[in-house]
Amino acid sequence: MNTVWGGIVERVKGFSWKSQNVTGVDVGSRFLKAVTLQPGPTFPTLKGIVLESLPFTSNPKSQTDLEDDRHLVQFLRNQLSPFPRAVGITVSSPHVLLKRLALPYMSEKDLRAHLALELDRYIPLDVQGAVWDVYRHKDSDALDNENVQTFLVVAKKEFIEARIRQFEGQGMHVRFVDVDAFSLVNMVAYNYGHEGTWMIIHLGPTGILSVMMEEGRLVHMHQVSYEVEWYGDLLDGVQTALALAGDGFKLGVSESLLLEQFFNETIKQVVETIKHASEGTDTGMVQGVFLSGGYSMLEGLQSRLAESLGVSVTRVNPFKKIKVPQEMQQDSRFQKALPLFGVAVGAALREAIPHD
């Protein structure tokens, strides 16, 4: 194939689990997250997790973060038990470009042939140095003269290969490279069901990733950076203080005012994304919002969004339909960190075999 993805997404409607454990890895801008699931007759069992602060400040323009830190994947290898022989990893902006296209209906073979010849028309990258895949939302009911919504996923080959080498250098075979947006859809669809139209809001240090899913499939994706650069320092400081001081921590007046600005921008971005997605796609009304990512845990954000949007807002539990050992369930640190694992769980679920 012309891509290392080998198919970027499958609909999650039911699972026939493979015999071996499956591991999903999410290397974020602040934390390394990994999840190992063990197959079960009805639900998978959580066998191990890794949540580790990265030992460096990620440079959004760098293509070799993993190459620069040779101990990161080695740490992962030592922490996960049993040792994962195969993993699935995810990538996100700025290392991957996901572009929505409206193209005339054509067969899967013809679509890929068209993109292979015309790729330079759609991407601002050197075609020879890029890997790509394509995902089409609908094709069974399309007419010959009807445009079909298509997502083109592109990444720099150098970056993808460097990341794969880092894992394989520690004896772990990378079975696939997925995209954060699709992993989030996978996770939400598995845990909360497929019916209806929902918005996933993933909030982290790099910005706001908004994903609209309909019937368990991605139909719209939008990512924006924060309008001001100091949000990251503010939010990281607030969360660190909360972790150290516990529930008795109170924000100062200046911090409260700055946090209010962050809440207002987040609400504005979500409202605009829902409006734009509803106008640009043939989807139903958004029934609710799922919050994911480290910044989704900020106190007050969930209620503020629900009030502004007029729909339910749920902070995701990526392990809702996964059996979690009792000692983990009773660990307050694990419970507080749940929204951080959404992408890694979605990647691990990708290793299941979907069936109708």
Q: pLDDT, tens digit, for every residue of 56-84?
A: 444 444 444 544 455 677 778 788 877 88
Task: Give the whole-angstrom CA distance, residue 200 versus residue 161.
Answer: 29
Q: Tokens standing for 231?
A: 């949000």
Whether residue 232 is contained in a domain is answered as yes
CATH number at residue 191: 3.30.420.380
| In-domain check, residue 3 | no
DSSP 8-state code for residue 323:
B
Find tokens 């039911």 and name the residue.
Answer: 14
Q: Is residue 98 part of a domain?
A: yes
Does residue 1 belong to any structural domain of this protein? no
pLDDT of residue 280 exceeding 70: no
pLDDT of residue 75: 78
pLDDT digits over 116-153, tens only?
Answer: 888 888 888 788 888 888 887 654 455 555 777 788 88
Pairing type for strands 286-292 and 15-16 reads unpaired
Q: Which long-range contacts (CB under 8 A, 24 or more apart) does 277-283 make?
A: 277/199, 277/210, 277/212, 277/219, 277/220, 277/222, 280/220, 281/149, 281/212, 281/214, 281/219, 281/220, 283/197, 283/212, 283/214, 283/219, 283/220
Per-residue pLDDT reduced to its tens digit, 28-50:
777 889 999 988 788 889 999 99
Average pLDDT for 239-259: 63
In angstroms, the Cα distances linking 317 to 220, 306, 332 are: 22, 18, 14
Print the domain residue range for 159: 15-354
DSSP states along 298-311: STTHHHHHHHHHSS
Sheet containing strand 173-179, edge to edge, reads 45-53, 31-38, 22-27, 86-91, 173-179
- Does any domain span residue 9? no
Number of domains in the chain: 1
Question: Is 270 within the bounds of a domain?
Answer: yes
Given a cut of 60, whether residue 318 has pLDDT beyond it is yes
Residue 57 phi/psi, 5° resolution?
-90, 115
- Return the top range by mean pLDDT from 137-146, 231-240, 252-261: 252-261
The reported pLDDT for the residue numbered 121 is: 87
Residue 31 domain flag: yes
The reply to whether 209 falls in a domain is: yes
Read off the pLDDT of residues 157-203 as tens digits, 9 standing for 90 and up: 888 888 888 888 888 888 888 889 989 999 999 999 888 899 999 98
| Residue of 267, 263, 271, 272 lying closest to 234 (CA atoms) | 263
Q: Is the pLDDT of residue 9 over 50?
A: no
137 within 8 A of 149, measured Cβ to Cβ: yes
Distances (CA, A) of 164 to 155, 243, 301: 13, 34, 36
Mean pLDDT of the chain: 78
